[in-house]
Amino acid sequence: MDFVSVVWLGAPVWMWLVFLAVVVLLLAFDLGVLNRDDHVIGVKESLKLSALYLSAGLAFGLWVWHGFGSEKAMQFYTGFLIEKSLSLDNIFVISLIFATLAIPPLYQHRVLFWGILGVIVTRGIMIGAGSALVASYYWVLYIFGAILVVTGIKMLFVSENPDSVRDSALLAWLRRHLRVSETTHGHDFLVRLPHPSQPGRKLWYATPLLLALLMVEFTDVIFAVDSVPAIFAITSDPFIVYTSNIFAVLGLRALYFALADVVQRFRQDRKS
């Protein structure tokens, strides 16, 4: 049997390779063609980019239908929609992070793009661990169901609070343990600046963009604790869970700029 035909985590290796190739091509087209140069992404561009990722996700679901049948395809689409809906709050938190750290709109896409690469890794680890737990202890699904209920209640009663980011323990820890520049330096995450007391010597500093990236990654992990168990309640197939998760996250990050504009308008109307 060829290596690519071996079933690994719910699907043949070749299907995993196709999925990864699609994601890499989408990200390469995003950064290498559409956003090669730093620029402020407007609402129209955000909606077009989101439509691209949405179309890719829907097309991938049809491919799953062709390869696995209608049941797996419906599980994919259900997981896709669940992740989309439960991750909307993540968009609002990201906008608060950018506002708190004064990240210019010109560089926000760069933070989100590199954040996606982190999401691909962290979601893979979380879903792999969750799949192993479900395979060994089926009753874990009941815990996942309880987490989903708590998530629903929390969404009803937890409000948007800018101070929650400003007073974040993680942000305070990062500022204590990293040398952080006072302002951004172009689109760089790290920059070498003159030593404050030793002329001629330079030190590496983290820029606010790196703080924003780390905060966004941490936020995604927290929200994934809510959303990933919800999809496991639909299916325990790691291939379906992971692929639907990633396509949903890709589309939401692309939609960020349109949603952030709506949030900004809402805040301005509320103040006036």
Looking at residue 242, its pLDDT comes to 94
Mean pLDDT of 64-69: 91
What is this structure's pTM?
A: 0.83
Answer yes or no: is pLDDT of 90 > 60.
yes
Confidence band for 158, pLDDT divided at 50, 70 and 90: very low
Distances (CA, A) of 187 to 37, 38, 120, 137, 208: 10, 8, 22, 46, 10
Confidence band for 271, pLDDT divided at 50, 70 and 90: low
Average pLDDT over the chain, rounded to whole?
82
Confidence band for 1, pLDDT divided at 50, 70 and 90: low
| Strand residues in the chain grouped as ranges (E) | 7-8, 11-12, 190-194, 202-206
Percent of the chain with pLDDT over 90: 25
Looking at residue 61, its pLDDT comes to 95
